């Protein structure tokens, strides 16, 4: 599959058209997605969208995204289209408006191919929690593509589309990017509007791109970011200023954090990648992040608390599935019991518990305090280093069905959740390695310093 920038070049040169690209994309999906299952739905108006993109170009209104096929995770609203967060409770729900980030892509002339599979309400690390069955990893169909944005990552890895959108609450863009051998960017919290994103953890969620190259991820990010009056947590537009590009970067490695419980293949590829960066002139230094070891615990208190609040709106009255009970309370209970799968239920229970009057201070209150300490850890570290490097995930992609215990599954997020706790940006880039299974390296930077992530990410790409 050609990269987004290659396709944009061909569209501009007139050697292909948006309609021709869309036809080829649909044919590939038809031929190969039955087994991969990256898609929950392929839209019925793809060719009409493509014709519109070709018209935009003919009118001289083309942007770098005009005519580019893109896939949306099934938790982003596109007006008039079904959207369901891969949950039965949203069965039949049609989006009444378009998410801001999606609208920006639409205005730029992108062609939306369909809805990508994901874990139910973005809860999971393997896409096995989808109510519609798992997506398979295109590199090895016995393995998971990661999650929760597994369908988006797989659609890019399978070569169906050059780019996709995902959302990242605790790693759901970076970890599937790592498992599928593609680039995934979790932007700074508040840089991309959450308006029209089905909420999971509102203080953690952010929309971001998947692509085959760092450059393509940057192109998408530049289009989707920006202040939005519909999301009061978006940053003002002047939050991003341009920075002079340094020749060599200082890369901090939290040694104590990355040396425990990681797979040897991942550890070796990580060290090799760092050696490669050092050869190119970047300085690799060990750093300490004293509170980061508590990040997963903090995440699994704060996130379920927010989940329990956000999912309370799915009551059989306002959205999607409605199952009648004997009375109003019965309607609620039956709808939620039949509509939610095990993971949203588990997290709603946990979240309700940590927010309950008797336990609020012991759990939620405390987690909020430790969250501040983790934020401070990062602020201190970024006084001395430009970026922080860790493996994206502790293991290569695991087998479908291999991890049955939810607590073990939560460990897949150990390296990714700290960025969401602190609101800082992170990127996963495939590591050069001889292993047949993809593995990513993650870089983190200070708030709004995506430029440093793109810089170091391109250095890793150049190591190949
Ligand atoms: N895998 C993590 C979880 O299950 C992250 C999910 C996400 O980022 N949406 O919560």
pLDDT at 169 over 80: yes
Determine if ligand 1 sits within 6 Å of the CB of residue 75. no
Q: What is the enclosing helix (H) or strand (E) of 388? A: strand 387-391
pLDDT at 261 over 90: no
pLDDT at 133 over 90: yes
pLDDT at 242 over 80: yes
pLDDT at 342 over 90: yes
**CA separation for the pair 326, 305 (Å, rounded):** 29
pLDDT at 31 over 90: yes
pLDDT band at residue 1 under the 50/70/90 scheme: confident
pLDDT band at residue 10 under the 50/70/90 scheme: very high
What average pLDDT does range 21-37 have in this prediction?
98
Question: For ligand 1, what atom is nearest to the CA of residue 300?
Answer: 10
The question of whether 172 is a catalytic residue gets the answer yes
Report the candidate in 233, 168, 199 with the shortest Cα–Cα distance to residue 309. Answer: 199
The question of whether 130 is a catalytic residue gets the answer no
Question: What is the 125 CA–ligand 1 centroid distance (Å)?
Answer: 6
pLDDT at 388 over 80: yes
| Burial environment of residue 333 by CB neighbours within 10 A (0 to 12, 13 to 18, 19 or more) | middle
What average pLDDT does range 140-145 have in this prediction?
98
User: 157: which 2 tokens?
Assistant: 């890895």
Question: What is the 412 CA–ligand 1 centroid distance (Å)?
Answer: 9
Question: What's the confidence (pLDDT) of residue 439?
Answer: 98
**pLDDT, tens digit (0-9, with 9 covering 90-100), for 57-91:** 999 999 999 999 999 999 999 999 999 999 999 99
Determine if ligand 1 sits within 6 Å of the CB of residue 149. no
The question of whether 272 is a catalytic residue gets the answer no
For the chain, give the percent of residues with pLDDT over 90. Answer: 95
Determine if ligand 1 sits within 6 Å of the CB of residue 168. yes
Determine if ligand 1 sits within 6 Å of the CB of residue 177. no
pLDDT at 318 over 90: no
Contacts of residues 361-369 at CB distance under 8 Å and 24 or more positions apart, as own/partner, are 363/301, 364/301, 364/302, 364/305, 366/301, 367/297, 367/298, 367/301, 367/302, 368/302
Question: What's the confidence (pLDDT) of residue 435?
Answer: 87
Q: Domains in the chain, please, with CATH?
A: 4-239 (3.90.1300.10)
Residue 409 is given by DSSP the state: H
Average pLDDT, the chain: 97
**CA separation for the pair 223, 201 (Å, rounded):** 24
Candidates 87, 148, 149, 152; catalytic one: 148
What average pLDDT does range 369-396 have in this prediction?
98
Strand positions, DSSP E, 205-355: 206-211, 250-254, 283-287
Determine if ligand 1 sits within 6 Å of the CB of residue 171. yes
pLDDT at 464 over 80: no
Give phi and psi for 211, each to the nearest 5. Answer: -160, 175
**Ligand 1, residues 73, 169, 301, 407: which to mutate, most atoms within 8 A of Cβ?**
169
pLDDT at 122 over 90: yes
Question: What is the 51 CA–ligand 1 centroid distance (Å)?
Answer: 37
Determine if ligand 1 sits within 6 Å of the CB of residue 172. yes
Nearest CA to ligand 1 atom 10: 123
Candidates 5, 73, 136, 167; catalytic one: 73
**Ligand 1, residues 204, 413, 423: which to mutate, most atoms within 8 A of Cβ?**
413
Question: What is the 172 CA–ligand 1 centroid distance (Å)?
Answer: 5
**pLDDT, tens digit (0-9, with 9 covering 90-100), for 276-308:** 999 999 999 999 999 999 999 999 999 999 999
What average pLDDT does range 210-231 have in this prediction?
98
Question: What's the confidence (pLDDT) of residue 434?
Answer: 86
Question: For ligand 1, what atom is nearest to the CA of residue 149?
Answer: 9
Question: What is the 393 CA–ligand 1 centroid distance (Å)?
Answer: 13
């Amino acid at each position: 599959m050609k990269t987004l920038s290659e396709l944009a070049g061909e569209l501009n040169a007139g050697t292909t058209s948006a309609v021709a690209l869309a036809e080829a994309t649909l044919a590939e999906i038809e031929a190969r997605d039955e087994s991969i299952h990256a898609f929950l739905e392929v839209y019925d108006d793809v060719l009409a969208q493509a014709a519109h993109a070709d018209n935009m170009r003919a009118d001289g209104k083309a942007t770098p995204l005009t005519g580019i096929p893109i896939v949306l995770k099934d938790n982003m609203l596109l007006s008039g289209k079904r959207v369901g967060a891969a949950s039965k409770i949203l069965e039949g729900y049609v989006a009444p408006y378009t998410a801001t980030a999606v609208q920006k892509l639409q205005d730029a002339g992108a062609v939306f191919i369909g809805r990508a599979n994901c874990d139910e309400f973005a809860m999971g690390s393997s896409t096995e929690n989808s109510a519609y069955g798992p997506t398979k990893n295109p590199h090895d169909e016995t393995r998971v593509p990661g999650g929760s944005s597994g369908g988006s990552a797989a659609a890019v890895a399978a070569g169906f589309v050059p780019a996709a959108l995902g959302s990242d609450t605790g790693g759901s863009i970076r970890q599937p990017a790592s498992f599928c051998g593609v680039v995934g960017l979790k932007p700074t919290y508040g840089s991309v509007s959450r308006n029209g994103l089905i909420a999971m953890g509102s203080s953690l969620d952010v929309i971001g791109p998947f692509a085959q190259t760092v450059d393509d991820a940057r192109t998408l990010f530049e289009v989707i970011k920006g202040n939005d009056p519909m999301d009061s947590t978006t940053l003002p537009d002047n939050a991003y200023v341009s920075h002079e590009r340094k020749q060599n970067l200082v890369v901090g490695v939290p040694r104590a954090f990355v040396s425990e419980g990681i797979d040897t293949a991942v550890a070796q590829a990580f060290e090799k990648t760092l050696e490669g960066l050092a050869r190119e002139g970047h300085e690799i230094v060990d750093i300490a992040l004293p509170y980061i070891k508590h990040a997963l615990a903090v995440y699994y208190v704060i996130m379920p608390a927010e989940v329990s609040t956000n999912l309370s709106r799915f009551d059989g009255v306002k959205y999607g599935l409605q199952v009648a009970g004997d009375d109003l309370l019965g309607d609620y209970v039956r709808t939620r019991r039949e509509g939610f799968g095990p993971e949203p239920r588990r997290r709603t229970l946990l979240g309700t518990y940590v927010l309950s009057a008797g336990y609020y201070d012991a759990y939620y209150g405390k987690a909020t305090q430790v969250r501040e300490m983790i934020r401070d850890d990062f602020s201190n570290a970024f006084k001395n280093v430009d970026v922080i490097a860790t493996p994206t995930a502790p293991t290569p992609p695991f087998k479908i069905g291999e991890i049955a215990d939810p607590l073990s599954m939560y460990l897949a997020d150990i390296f990714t959740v700290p960025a969401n706790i602190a609101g800082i940006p992170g990127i996963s880039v495939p590591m050069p390695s001889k292993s047949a299974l993809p593995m990513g390296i993650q870089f983190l930077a200070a708030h709004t310093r995506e430029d440093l992530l793109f810089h170091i990410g391109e250095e890793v790409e150049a190591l190949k």
